[in-house]
Structure 1
């Protein structure tokens, strides 16, 4: 972590405004048309599987996970992963990813999906979803659709539409 004294904590309801401001600064208004946001419109993220990164009291990063299904298979959708620009390339994103995946696995989750850059996310076990195995609503660059198996072979026979897990719908 270089010279940073970083603390990773489970997100609380009190973090919502600060995280939204972080998303506004880092992603801008165009974020609402992305496929992953189409899914997030219907299901809230899971606070116990979403995390903040702080240096002292300063929020410097956030990662969220929400319940989805791929066909009939339950999974998590990771994202957004956000780090304040001055703190990028200092291990903050990696620390958030490690904690999110570790806690998801500890709670019995078997699959995590995201839309992102494979060179970055492959370092923590994500790989491209084979073409045609899963579809998302709205525009999506399927070369950026990635999956991490938290249990060996968890994605072997999984296919279908990615959708919110309606048992968690608002």
Structure 2
């Protein structure tokens, strides 16, 4: 298999249309009904913590982090993490995850939440949110509601509803 000439770079304003088309191909129209999507509608993603993956000039992946509150604790919600279906299983998602989490850690953020497959996200340090601790704005499978502490103790402090954050 040929090596990809992959570039991970900060998301730029001109990437929005290509990212939206990528989300459409990867997740379909059902993405709008998901609780995590509804949460992200309340606060725009942070462009300093959001990245794209490119092979040449082709955008093949994207990850976004958006500000939230987990009870009274400021945090981030990760997602969507998207890779062009034809480029899956080549390490692109992991490269995007590592870059975005490193940027969040460097910026001083303490907590990242997401809704996703625990077996995939476990390698980045995500663990299931203890049942009953936090409530998303809509139904979420508790086994898929995950958290990563970038600062020790932040998850223990987070209790209550998860709401969109604002600057």
TM (norm. structure 1) is 0.95
Extract unaligned runs of 5+ from structure 2: none
Identify the residue that residue 140 of structure 1 maps to in structure 2.
140
Contact 2:73 2:154 in 1 (8 A): no
Identify the residue that residue 109 of structure 1 maps to in structure 2.
109
Aligned residues: 166
How many angstroms apart in 2 are the aligned matches of 1:151 and 1:139? 27
Identify the residue that residue 160 of structure 2 maps to in structure 1.
160
Extract unaligned runs of 5+ from structure 1: none
1:8-47 matched pairs, under 5 angstroms:
8-47=8-47
Shifted more, 138-147 versus 118-127: the winner is 138-147
Q: Secondary structure at the match of 1:155?
A: helix
Q: CA deviation at 1:142?
A: 1.6
1:123 pairs with 2:123? yes
Kindly report the root-mean-square deviation, in angstroms, between the aligned alpha carbons of the 2 structures.
1.0
How many angstroms apart in 1 are the aligned matches of 2:23 and 2:76? 20
Cα-to-partner distance string for 1:128-148 (whole Å, 9 max, x where unaligned) = 001001001122112100000
Q: What stretches of structure 1 move > 3 A for 4+ residues in a row?
A: none
Cα-to-partner distance string for 1:75-100 (whole Å, 9 max, x where unaligned) = 00000000011111110000000000
How many angstroms apart in 1 are the aligned matches of 2:158 and 2:69? 10
Q: Secondary structure at the match of 2:7?
A: strand
How many angstroms apart in 1 are the aligned matches of 2:28 and 2:85? 14
Q: CA deviation at 1:157?
A: 2.4
Q: Secondary structure at the match of 1:162?
A: strand
